[in-house]
């Protein structure tokens, strides 16, 4: 069974930065993509970014391109989401997600309603 544990959320002013961390534990044999989706109050889930575990191919939702960077450190078995130039509309609970499908634009879109595995989430609040 795969477990995903997120950390790094918090309160930041608009224009600020945060770095989220996801640490998988358990069996990762069937995982081909790992990344993040978010859910803001009163809004639907939104796939934010994913990275392939094998070839490091990455995808981003249009609203975060140029501001967020996903990366992974295989030695530490950790996935990161560096979030820069944060906006009020980035406020949400961010969930680490993993999937047996490869990272793609389609996978990101599908994360708005399902993913094979996900964590408990970490709150990101962007406010002045």
Place of tokens 């992974």: 72
| Residue-wise pLDDT tens digits, 66-99 | 999 999 999 999 999 999 999 999 999 999 999 9
pLDDT interval class at 28 (50, 70, 90): confident
Mean pLDDT, the chain, rounded, equals 95
User: Per-residue pLDDT for 119 more than 90?
Assistant: yes
CA distances from 2 to 83, 93, 98 (A): 25, 20, 9
Residue 29 banded pLDDT, cuts 50, 70, 90: confident
26 CB burial (10 A radius; 0-12, 13-18, 19+) = exposed
């Amino acid at each position: 069974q795969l477990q995903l544990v997120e950390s790094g959320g918090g309160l930041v002013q608009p224009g600020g930065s945060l770095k989220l961390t996801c640490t998988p534990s358990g069996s990762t044999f069937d995982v081909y993509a790992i990344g993040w989706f978010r859910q803001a109050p009163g809004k639907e889930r939104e796939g934010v970014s994913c990275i392939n575990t094998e070839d490091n191919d990455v995808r981003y939702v249009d609203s975060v391109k140029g501001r967020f960077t996903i990366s992974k450190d295989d030695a530490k078995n950790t996935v990161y989401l560096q979030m820069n130039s944060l906006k009020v509309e980035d406020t949400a609970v961010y969930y680490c997600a993993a999937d047996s499908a490869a990272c793609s634009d389609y996978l990101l879109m599908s994360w708005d309603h399902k993913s094979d595995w996900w964590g408990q989430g970490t709150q990101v609040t962007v406010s002045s």
